């Protein structure tokens, strides 16, 4: 199943800098692992924002939920999930 997911990160300004750095590093490692596995198909930065638009290809809603909840930055995120379906005019 394909899902478009917009994630906006809202780190508290007073977050300990060491915690911030370790959490961001863990997020990068986890995101790259999921991209290598094929479950995180696309990862695009939203220009000028601490936000991304991503496409996931996962077995079901439960798997997507599991992946998102395991994101190290998840506690600081606003997340919007949109299930995707084939468009009848798409050529691919």
CA distance to 13, 20, 85, 89, per residue, from 35 (Å): 29, 22, 21, 28
Chain centroid to Cα 80, Å, comes to 10
Q: What is the pLDDT of residues 11-60, one digit of tens each?
A: 999 999 999 999 999 999 999 999 999 999 999 999 999 999 999 999 99
Closest CA to 68 of 79, 76, 59, 57: 79
pLDDT at site 75: 97
Domain 2-83 has CATH 3.30.70.1060: yes
pTM for this entry: 0.92
């Amino acid at each position: 199943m394909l899902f478009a997911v917009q994630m906006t990160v809202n780190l508290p300004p007073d977050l300990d800098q060491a915690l911030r750095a370790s959490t961001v590093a863990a997020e990068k490692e986890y995101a790259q692992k999921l991209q290598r596995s094929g479950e995180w198909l696309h990862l695009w930065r939203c220009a000028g924002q601490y936000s991304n638009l991503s496409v996931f290809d996962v077995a079901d809603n439960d798997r997507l939920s599991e992946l998102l909840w395991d994101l190290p930055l998840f506690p600081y995120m606003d997340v919007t999930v949109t299930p995707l379906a084939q468009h009848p005019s798409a050529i691919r």
